Structure 1
């Protein structure tokens, strides 16, 4: 539904909302030029006297600010500086150019402190972070140490993933305007209610005095889950200027002023019998964050993916004074599977087993750590088998032996896993006398197709065509939804719309004098027995409005809900340069009912594309002396372009999961990236015989190790 607006430029993003408030001024954010320390002095004289300047806000002039519930660092720094490019001021002027020029005149003198910026060094002091995502940071089942020592076949390897940037197309941007003591912020945010709560907390105002509006978002990937500095500074700037102010973070600030996926150092140990049964599996991961931050949960999937009687997982957190690490598409599973699924490939090779067969042998239909808890649905083996057949896995050769002209060719496989989460979600549905159904919920659309699937849900429930449904999203005056994140948005929000429509159907039946239990809503009519009445007739005396929410029981105590898939990749590696080219990709996904195959496929191929980036090119390079990400723009931070990505095939298993929701659906938005990096790495090994355990797999890690065939 939103596609036509985006392709014609009529879907306004936050910075383009020129119509929402008159007389908009421009704010420019000034970021700290040190990574740790304090502001010794700040001279604003020249900046205040610069042409067009309306106001300047600093921590000193802003008054007491809370940091909110979800931010690790203060969104406006001073006098303490917690990370490089932490905002220290916003300069408001009549034009963007004037604001930028005046910001350059602000003279800040810093007193620096020694910081920790190198995970490899800080790892030695890493500590237990406590519970992570509602689970303990470490688990132990059986006797891992003894079983691993006794295993006939062993693997003990270390893997590394670097810091990653969200690199979404639309930067963090906001327009803020005050009306008395109430503020409205038109912004780019995935979780409206979280943003309202944290902005209210930070400003010290009642929650009901804050309104957030975010109908279109140009990408988020988790980087817009939380209130960011530009929204706060737009609100502070507007209050100081007495007029509407718009603020956007520059691209360099997007890398060092917002969140990122933290780097990990991982150790995986697997012990197995000669016939391929895993007897011991251990997975440890170290990552870093600011004080009070949290770890990258890279071991959580290992607790659920493969059977083994003796198990151990552990997360450790080091303090690093880099910008905040936080959620990025499939946090935990994405980097965790980049290690685990390579380790599984390596172990299969040691055992002389096909990698798919090795995974089949160690599949389980119950939680390996809590055997009394079965999976609600688990079709991992079917995903692997269907993928193998469709991809032509039987034609896979031995490492370093298949050549196509100048290219060494290889195939790789990896399992995909992502937990299925659900959150309470509400909606309001309105029927008018023309038979139009309007849905209102604060759910957001980050390019995922929320408008479309919500419209489909309301249309089917009320028995009308899509042309009779209006969907309004992303406004905090609407009922609170799950929001977009954790791949829970589609399933939860449509279930909330379903609940509201059930209530509206009851109201319609009451107005028309029919029994709601046997009424059929179809073709714009309500049928009961031999009677058929136009749906619109129920609203002739006035609009009918219903509001309700879906709330989920605690099935987690008896059943584990997860999504599964398989990724297959074929690569070519140039015999002379070691350049890697992805030639083919295929994903098979098991994620409950697929609400819309087109938008679901779009989500999966987006995840597959990001997985290729993580495997081959994405890396935030850390200056370990000065404490910042050096390649903080889209020239130095490389992401895949069209030429890097071949045709991608996606298949969905025909399944439903009644335990998940009334929709019997699950999420796919993050499943698509899970395992892709490992599938690429495994394909490169199959092509060259070279095993790289340190991402990204750039040609310098291959060139001096290429086989004689090259």
Structure 2
């Protein structure tokens, strides 16, 4: 493999299309006679619909139809027989299935009209008569109803209770995180183009076009050959597109019934009516020696879920793998409420669980008088104790060392409230991050055209990390050709199978398939070159592809240009299915990070600003450091927002989110963010996959919120255990 392509900061191959407006998103595709749908959402959290009066809407010229549970087409879901790839345990929500109202914001009707403005106005005229029931949406008030989550947890190790009871230092701590909503730039939308014969061409906001295709086929009893889903460009998702959202089946049902093309685009307010990062209460008990060596650890979490599905995420297992501890017990429970099912959100479980664990480790550092970095080194784990396996690679020590050096950690004053500039209290905090390095089965096809262009294809999508660019680099590197001559096709359900884009496993999964497809193509090229009667080779067993030609070993004089070969032989192609190698079964694989944060707190006002961040990442081989750095920057910004701003405010009397817009749901803006330095620590890993890459989509956010909270404590002496750290909480804190 020619390493000159991988590891280079190649510009995004789709960058020009995006900045010039040539890239089209799900709600931007035209169609003749296109109808626009506007969703009517429930105003109550629990109950039944007595009646829906759509007469005022239907009286408007240009309003074509109002779809409700009373006139919808038959769904396969009527017998609860369908699911999607990322579904939670339970009975999945079926929009317009019946008269039951399960949560506030539930779609109850779809108004179809000739323009989006008319559809939205007409939707405001639809009147719904409810029979409300008592509802419960407050996790705190319902903790006693929690039940065990259907999650695989590591078995307890040793006797954690006894170890903690006998420890010199004992801590009992509780942390809480609020609901958070994804809010990508592109709201969810589906444009369903009705084609002759009833086939559907669907442009969907999704993280998996094949998942959306399977979902529609299952729900509406359609043959896969009749449904093609495209998602060439996705304006961010963060997990919100892992499951098909309700605009997709609504648009498809309307298109099939009316035999017309239909677009349903959700409003920003409606982006708060489906999945989210769930509110979670976590309790940790730690026992340690006087110098801070962990002797016992108990981590318990209770998260909210809906009444119809048990949403689970990996909240507590990180506490069993990040630090060495021989006495450990983990527990994870769920409380069903009258809410929609939560959904995976960037670094699901880890962003939540690591906030509690890394805050608790900081509290242990203060309790034992140990430097926070040294405390983590004291408890460093060489193995994943959850699995009892060594790591395929782990350069976390280097992350601590390089991150601390770049940040200037050695200049830190140990005591809280001891660093200031004028009215600004200065605090330094740090935390560790970890995320599992996964690989999923994936397929890819590679073909060389007669003009020497390499076309590589897989049904993955690109929600923003630069997937097309990374795959271009992998393909170009494997075949030794100029990346400018590579075209990567994606976002199409008809292409070779690919997993959902999530979990930081796209490069390791689809990238491995791309590499194997190109290697298979290279073998075919060499075989074709051998068969040429006038081939300039003396030893055809040494042929290889390099720099756009088939060459004998290192002898560039004994070579044939690929374009010449293809002109004489015709186009060649190869398609492969890739899966994790057997070598992974013997090891644990994870990405690690060390995050260092500086905050400045106005002593009088309680305002907090993050002025500096250093994030040191060990993620194996980084395919494109430019796009990878952007991923880490985005994760750090989100972690800052998680720590200081982001919170869904729920009025539990109504059971609904009240700040369901980008004016009141606070997110970081440029003025909130100081300097962010990203360090990619060198890490070689021959076991994780053939590329040696672990992925960086999630790791950027993990640990950031804890590092901010730890820095706030160092600055103020106040420990805030409930996120976000708002003015009132800080001014009233301990």
Kindly indicate whether residue 66 of structure 2 is the aligned counterpart of residue 38 of structure 1: no
Counting only pairs closer than 5 Å after superposition, residues 666-677 of structure 1 correspond to structure 2 as: 666-677=694-705
C-alpha distance 344-624 of structure 1, shift in aligned 2 (>3 A): same
Q: What residue ranges of structure 1 are gaps of 5+ in the alignment?
A: none
Kindly indicate whether residue 285 of structure 2 is the aligned counterpart of residue 269 of structure 1: yes
Where does residue 496 of structure 2 map in the other structure?
Answer: 479
Where does residue 26 of structure 2 map in the other structure?
Answer: 14
SS of 1:91's partner is strand
| Per-residue CA distance 1:17-46 (angstroms, 9 max, x = gap) | 12xx32212111111111111111112223
Alignment check: 8 A CA contact 1:126 1:318 kept = yes
| Per-residue CA distance 1:331-372 (angstroms, 9 max, x = gap) | 00001111110100000111110011010011111122343x
Where does residue 532 of structure 1 map in the other structure?
Answer: 559
Shift of 1:49: 2.4
SS of 1:139's partner is coil
Alignment check: 8 A CA contact 1:288 1:295 kept = no
Where does residue 249 of structure 2 map in the other structure?
Answer: 232
Alignment check: 8 A CA contact 1:230 1:249 kept = yes
> Which of 610, 615, 629 in structure 2 is aligned with 1:601?
629
Alignment check: 8 A CA contact 2:291 2:369 kept = no
CA separation in 2, counterparts of 1:543 and 1:29? 49
SS of 1:358's partner is helix
Q: Which moved more, 1:526-535 or 1:152-161?
A: 526-535
Kindly indicate whether residue 237 of structure 2 is the aligned counterpart of residue 209 of structure 1: no
CA separation in 1, counterparts of 2:32 and 2:483? 35
Kindly indicate whether residue 145 of structure 2 is the aligned counterpart of residue 125 of structure 1: yes
> Which of 334, 338, 343 in structure 2 is aligned with 1:321?
338
SS of 1:279's partner is strand
Q: Which moved more, 1:152-161 or 1:26-35?
A: 26-35
> Which of 149, 157, 165 in structure 1 is aligned with 2:165?
149
Alignment check: 8 A CA contact 2:311 2:341 kept = no
Where does residue 106 of structure 1 map in the other structure?
Answer: 126
CA separation in 2, counterparts of 1:116 and 1:542? 67
Shift of 1:517: 6.4
Alignment check: 8 A CA contact 1:356 1:384 kept = yes
Alignment check: 8 A CA contact 2:601 2:607 kept = yes
Shift of 1:428: 1.2
Matched residue count = 698
> Which of 386, 389, 393 in structure 2 is aligned with 1:377?
393
Where does residue 166 of structure 1 map in the other structure?
Answer: 182
SS of 1:140's partner is coil
**CA-atom RMSD, angstroms?**
1.6
Shift of 1:705: 5.2
C-alpha distance 347-89 of structure 1, shift in aligned 2 (>3 A): same
Where does residue 91 of structure 1 map in the other structure?
Answer: 111
Runs of 4+ with deviation above 6 angstroms: 514-517
Shift of 1:201: 1.0
Counting only pairs closer than 5 Å after superposition, residues 389-428 of structure 1 correspond to structure 2 as: 389-397=405-413, 398-428=415-445
Kindly indicate whether residue 449 of structure 2 is the aligned counterpart of residue 432 of structure 1: yes
Shift of 1:556: 5.7
Kindly indicate whether residue 155 of structure 2 is the aligned counterpart of residue 139 of structure 1: yes
Alignment check: 8 A CA contact 2:427 2:715 kept = yes
CA separation in 1, counterparts of 2:405 and 2:149? 43
Alignment check: 8 A CA contact 1:425 1:480 kept = yes
Alignment check: 8 A CA contact 1:524 1:534 kept = yes
CA separation in 1, counterparts of 2:225 and 2:278? 35
> Which of 599, 619, 625 in structure 2 is aligned with 1:591?
619
Alignment check: 8 A CA contact 2:211 2:500 kept = no
CA separation in 1, counterparts of 2:268 and 2:128? 22
CA separation in 2, counterparts of 1:76 and 1:495? 41
Kindly indicate whether residue 396 of structure 2 is the aligned counterpart of residue 386 of structure 1: no
SS of 1:702's partner is helix
Shift of 1:557: 4.3
CA separation in 2, counterparts of 1:36 and 1:167? 25
C-alpha distance 688-153 of structure 1, shift in aligned 2 (>3 A): same
Shift of 1:704: 4.2
| Per-residue CA distance 1:164-193 (angstroms, 9 max, x = gap) | 010111000110022223212101111122
> Which of 544, 561, 565 in structure 2 is aligned with 1:520?
544
Alignment check: 8 A CA contact 1:56 1:237 kept = no
Q: What residue ranges of structure 2 are gaps of 5+ in the alignment?
A: 1-12, 532-538
Q: Which moved more, 1:24-33 or 1:677-686?
A: 24-33
> Which of 485, 498, 504 in structure 1 is aligned with 2:515?
498
CA separation in 2, counterparts of 1:68 and 1:277? 46
Counting only pairs closer than 5 Å after superposition, residues 678-689 of structure 1 correspond to structure 2 as: 678-689=706-717
